[in-house]
């Protein structure tokens, strides 16, 4: 599959977002069940700061779950 999410696209809901000068901080909640997440990449690099253990880094049962409070870098073009 060749599914690339563009700027601001996310597999979930947006709660809050603030930005300026090329930087955006957003609070988002994943709302797609893990078994329905297809392989994808992101057009822009981003950093995830997990606030709980519900975030999956990849659409597979073996996907790593960042620990709450840990950063998770996601370079542009990385396949998940």
Domain ranges of the chain: 4-74
Model pTM score: 0.63
What is the distance between the alpha carbons of residues 2 and 41, in angstroms, rounded to a whole number?
Answer: 8
∠ Cα 20 21 25 (to 5°): 45
Which residue's entry shows tokens 């994943």? 30
Quote the mean pLDDT of the chain.
Answer: 76
The mean per-residue pLDDT over the stretch 42-66 comes to 69
- Whether the per-residue pLDDT at 46 is higher than 80: the answer is yes
Q: Report the pLDDT averaged over residues 63-78.
A: 71
Judge whether residue 31 has pLDDT over 60: yes
Quick check: 19 and 7 in contact, CB under 8 A?
Answer: no
**Residues 55 and 14 sit within 8 Å (Cβ to Cβ):** no
Higher confidence at residue 4 or residue 14? 4
């Amino acid at each position: 599959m060749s599914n690339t999410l563009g700027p601001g696209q996310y597999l979930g809901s947006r709660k809050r977002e603030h930005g300026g000068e090329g930087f955006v901080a957003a609070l988002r909640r994943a709302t797609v069940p893990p078994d329905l997440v297809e392989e994808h990449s992101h057009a822009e690099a981003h950093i995830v700061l997990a606030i709980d253990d519900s975030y999956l880094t990849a659409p597979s049962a073996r996907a790593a779950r960042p620990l709450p409070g840990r950063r998770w870098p996601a370079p542009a073009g990385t396949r998940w």
